[in-house]
Copies of this chain bind each other. A is one copy, B any other.
């Protein structure tokens, strides 16, 4: 009589996690099969399945047909990084958000961009530069290129009142994103807009966006400060 209350898949996850933590099932061990565990916990196989499936998604277990379920030798840690609109990001801190367009041009995609987005020759992009402010303090400098073939609507949008990110979210939802972070020196351009010394470090985030394999946009966000995210499990 190990348990009185009937166990839900959450409880079962906890028990399994506990057994991994206390090394009842050390890293690399093979776990009992679903049927065996279902018997042990007195529940349906589907319940065990859900518990183990989620633990596998969370990077703690490895599951293979026929081979069975094992505890991952090197539990994959992963953080969930939310990629909100700048507006949401700023307003979440309680500050008021302000957006300002610096320049907007339609031009042929430069070579480095064509390479990065797998664009054909002579493809046109909208090239934007803009600033985001938090309580009238510089928050982020954004430089962005939008592929017109994928997002034709960008040709007639002036981006004077609405930021490109906010606009794109409603125009082209459900995209895939590549992110790169790096550190750089401010230099004269960023120093000017971000109100920092040219020789100070800035934090950059490069964001490439795809819609079903078609390139949508490339953006480089430059911060004077730092960036924060929190993992779940």
- A residues neighboring B (CB under 8 Å): 17, 20-21, 27, 60, 74-85, 88, 169-170, 173-185, 199-204, 223, 225-233
Name the one of B177, B185, B229, B233 contacting A231, with C-beta atoms under 8 angstroms: B177
- State whether A185 touches B173 (Cβ < 8 A): no
The docked-state distance in angstroms from the alpha carbon of A230 to that of B229 is 15
Contact B75 A181 (CB under 8 A): no
| CB–CB A173/B20 < 8 A | yes
Q: How far is the CA of A201 from the CA of B203 in the complex (A)?
A: 9
Cβ contacts under 8 Å, A84 to chain B: 74, 76-77
Cβ of A12 to closest chain B Cβ, rounded Å = 15
Q: Which residue of B lies closest to A21 (CB)?
A: B174
Contact A184 B170 (CB under 8 A): no
Report whether A202 and B183 are in contact in the complex, using a CB–CB cutoff of 8 Å: yes
CB contacts (< 8 Å) of A81 on chain B: these are 78-81, 229, 231
Q: Tell me the smallest distance from the CB of A49 to a CB of chain B, in Å.
A: 12
7 tightest A-B CB contacts, nearest first: A182-B226, A183-B183, A183-B201, A183-B203, A201-B201, A77-B83, A177-B231
Are B21 and A183 in touch, CB under 8 angstroms? no
Residues of B within 8 A of A173 (CB): 20-21, 27, 75
Contact sample, A vs B, 30 pairs, CB 8 Å cutoff:
A17-B174, A20-B173, A21-B173, A21-B174, A60-B174, A74-B85, A74-B169, A75-B173, A75-B174, A77-B83, A77-B177, A79-B80, A79-B83, A79-B177, A80-B81, A81-B81, A83-B231, A176-B231, A176-B232, A178-B231, A179-B231, A180-B226, A180-B227, A181-B181, A181-B226, A181-B227, A182-B226, A183-B204, A183-B223, A201-B201
User: Is B202 a contact of A170 with CB atoms below 8 Å?
Assistant: no
In the complex, chain B residues whose CB is within 8 Å of the CB of A229: 81, 179-181
**CB pair B203 A181 closer than 8 Å:** yes
CB-CB under 8 A for A201 and B185, given A76-B82, A83-B79, A85-B74: yes
**Known A179-B231, A203-B181, A231-B179: A80·B77 in contact at CB below 8 Å:** no
Known A-B contacts: A74-B85, A177-B231, A184-B201. Give 5 more (CB < 8 A).
A74-B88, A75-B174, A81-B81, A185-B200, A201-B202
